[in-house]
Structure 1
């Protein structure tokens, strides 16, 4: 019984920090509503997909309709996180002639703790030109259409220094969250990635420090 209580306590603490992250995003801009955020990092394996997924889960308890999109069409992982098919996703949507996308195209998840629904759109079939798709007017049209249908949208992007795919996505988002791993990210590498984002017009609203020692006061830090 004691072990189960400890396990539940740790799980609660981890979800609670994502609620703090969601709140900080909400109040990061006084004048402009932050409706679309993209999550990226310098390199792979630094916790961006975990951050995006958990942020989406806790946000669904606050908003009626939350959308999580896997924009990493080179190495997609969202579908594995949620154990869903990747046969249809973002790449398929962008290949359509129009943006008439029914709700049945999305995987839906309902949490008993809230009234909202989390909609997940995986990356979809592999394409030879992800950067061209994400830089296209079609992607801008897709995002504009999604803004009308969802209260909050989270875009999981590829790492900045691996490919350039995150740059065009950052430029059409309301804010970019940059994930830094306490265990894996080199300080100079992180600075280079941030500089690259900012030089290309991304609005970096904050950073998340992941993979910190759980014995310390906080697991994730947002600043």
Structure 2
């Protein structure tokens, strides 16, 4: 394994592929005073309170299956941390269906894949500034043939250690749990995991299986977010976000 360098960063609803094509909606940016934006800030507060005994510096989000809204949830959560004045890095570890580069209008030519496969790479080359103050993004990078194998390496451990030293918060978007092992692998390397469940899409059996898969690797599940709840007082794609934290 090559040396990993680190320098200061540069500046029943239908399943949808819209986030892959266009990125996710940033309601915390476009409607910062909305009820939903406030709910994201509440989730952030709950996470901070859950970390009294153990520092919650590197967290990830996953779901049981596709189109749960996990990328929307984790990206808006990253914005709320950045708005708090923390230096935040959002890592797109969903190398099979990446969205972060589309959300922020970034190139996906260099990203996490490059950091995992190229010797002696400076991680800063894979990190981009966003228009949001304090928020940085590491795109997924070119899609590799073996994402699970790349994530399950000491090099991934070293990357997370390096960025955690430079940032106040590291927030990771990972693939759904049921179809691939990527999220299980990342869950063993982070301080906490958020499970996103979308009403009308997620099946009870799949959600239970997702929790079982996380329990199998002794992941620390810090909360479950029920997404797109019907009957919300705000319409649109987002529906509602509600968090329960242990």
Same fold (TM over 0.5): yes
Deviation of 1:29 (Å): 2.6
Equivalent residues of 2:32, 2:38 under 8 A apart: no
Q: 1:79 aligns with which of 91, 101, 118?
A: 101
Q: 2:52 aligns with which of 12, 30, 33?
A: 30
More displaced, 45-54 or 55-64?
A: 55-64
Q: 2:195 aligns with which of 166, 169, 178?
A: 178
Deviation of 1:99 (Å): 5.9
Q: Which runs of 5+ in 2 are unaligned?
A: 1-29
Distance 2:102 2:230 in 1: 26
Distance 1:48 1:9 in 2: 19
Q: 1:106 aligns with which of 124, 127, 139?
A: 127
Note if 1:206 corresponds to 2:233.
no
Cα gap change, 1:213 to 1:206, in 2 (>3 Å): same
Deviation of 1:215 (Å): 2.9
Note if 1:68 corresponds to 2:97.
no
Distance 1:27 1:132 in 2: 34
- Can you list the C-alpha shifts for 1:162-198, whole angstroms capped at 9, x where unaligned? 1010011001100000000012111111011111111
Distance 2:31 2:137 in 1: 27
Question: Helix, strand or coil: the match of 2:50?
Answer: coil
Q: 1:130 aligns with which of 127, 144, 147?
A: 147
Deviation of 1:105 (Å): 3.5
Cα gap change, 1:108 to 1:214, in 2 (>3 Å): farther
Structure 2 partner of 1:90:
112
Question: Helix, strand or coil: the match of 1:45?
Answer: coil
Deviation of 1:101 (Å): 2.4
Question: Helix, strand or coil: the match of 2:90?
Answer: strand
Query: How big is the alpha-carbon RMSD for the aligned residues of Structure 1 and Structure 2?
Result: 1.9
Q: Which runs of 5+ in 1 are unaligned?
A: 1-7
